[in-house]
């Protein structure tokens, strides 16, 4: 039996491309964990401004998230504004600089999570997530 390196390479390329395309269409079912620090806390409502950078493929609008800090957890959604969620619900927004902000619509996120500037914070994007 002859070995045809170019044919093998072509099949390998096709296989890798199929895997990549499958992932690019939301086929990934693993949760993604984003870790960072709380860089500041809003004075009026206790919003948690983080150093976690948002990229286009990480989170989609309405995506369920789990936020944790100092052993405390909250279920949130990724939203474009406070009006996207009911009063008292948790949300994660993108700041103007592309970093994530954790907040409660008309509540104090820092008090609920027990978080302060300098604390580690984790945002888990629940599966399935899209790219």
Residue 41 domain-assigned? yes
Residue 121 domain-assigned? yes
Q: What is the pLDDT of residue 26?
A: 42
Residue 62 domain-assigned? yes
Query: Which residues touch 39 (CB under 8 Å, ≥6 apart)?
Result: 49, 50, 51, 99, 117
Residue 27 domain-assigned? no
pLDDT tens for residues 12-25? Answer: 444 443 444 333 44
CATH (domain of 58): 2.40.30.90
Tell me, yes or no, if the pTM score tops 0.75.
Answer: no
Q: What is the pLDDT of residue 73?
A: 97
**Cβ 102 vs Cβ 112: under 8 Å:** no
Residue 48 domain-assigned? yes
Domain membership of residue 49 as a residue range: 32-125
Give the number of domains in the chain: 1
Alpha helices in 1-131 (DSSP H): 5-24, 109-113
pLDDT tens for residues 30-47? Answer: 678 999 999 999 998 999
Residue 26 domain-assigned? no
Residue 13 domain-assigned? no
The Cα 17–Cα 53 span in angstroms is 28
pLDDT class of 7 with cuts at 50, 70, 90 = very low
Tokens 């948690």 found at: 48
Residue 5 domain-assigned? no
The Cα 87–Cα 1 span in angstroms is 70
pLDDT tens for residues 79-128? Answer: 999 999 999 999 999 999 999 999 999 999 999 999 999 999 999 998 75
């Amino acid at each position: 039996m002859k070995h045809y390196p170019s044919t093998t390479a072509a099949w390998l390329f096709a296989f890798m491309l199929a895997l990549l395309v499958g992932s690019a269409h939301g086929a990934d079912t693993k949760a993604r964990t984003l870790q960072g620090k709380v860089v500041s806390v809003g004075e009026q409502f206790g919003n948690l401004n983080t150093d976690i950078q948002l990229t286009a493929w990480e989170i989609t609008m309405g995506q369920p998230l789990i936020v944790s800090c100092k052993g405390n957890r909250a279920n949130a959604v990724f939203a474009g504004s406070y009006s996207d969620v009911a009063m008292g619900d948790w949300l994660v927004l993108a700041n103007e600089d592309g970093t994530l902000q954790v907040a409660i619509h008309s509540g104090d996120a820092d008090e609920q999570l027990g978080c302060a500037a300098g604390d580690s914070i984790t945002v888990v994007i629940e599966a399935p997530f899209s790219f």
